[in-house]
Amino acid sequence: MDTKEKNENNFFINNPSCPMVDFVNIVSGKWAIPILYRLIITNDLIRFGELQRAIGSITQKELTKQLRAFESLGLVKRTVYPEMPPRVEYCVTDLGMTLKPTLDSLANWMTQYRDQLTS
């Protein structure tokens, strides 16, 4: 490891605003990554109910909470249509799409090494 890498690693370890801690705070929670990844791979408008079915056994309350958090961070855009019954659609933003390579990498790692993990 060269001096530059060592200095960068020490910065991240000793800095209270470590980028990994910040990232984990964004994607913490059981449903955060599956929701975000579903929106990224869909890469189109998706209605709330369709997203809920695609995620699995997530509750309406938890999905709403997570989508609002992502919306407040600028990762997800919410569109409400003034009709009866109300229609709400979500899509990943350009900023949210920048996470695709990272989440693809995590998915590929899990696919490759799942069998080696012990529990």
Other beta carbons within 10 angstroms of residue 102's beta carbon come to 12
pLDDT, tens digit, 9 for 90 and up, residues 55-96: 989 999 999 999 999 999 999 999 999 999 888 999 999 999
- pLDDT at position 95 is 97
Q: What is the CATH number of domain 31-116?
A: 1.10.10.10
Spell out the domain ranges in the chain: 1-29, 31-116
- pLDDT at position 59 is 94
Region of residue 77 (phi > 0: left; psi between -120 and 50: alpha; otherwise: beta): beta
State the angle between helix axes of 60-73 and 48-55 in degrees (0 to 180), rounded to the nearest 10: 110
- pLDDT at position 25 is 84
Structural tokens at position 15: 């800095």
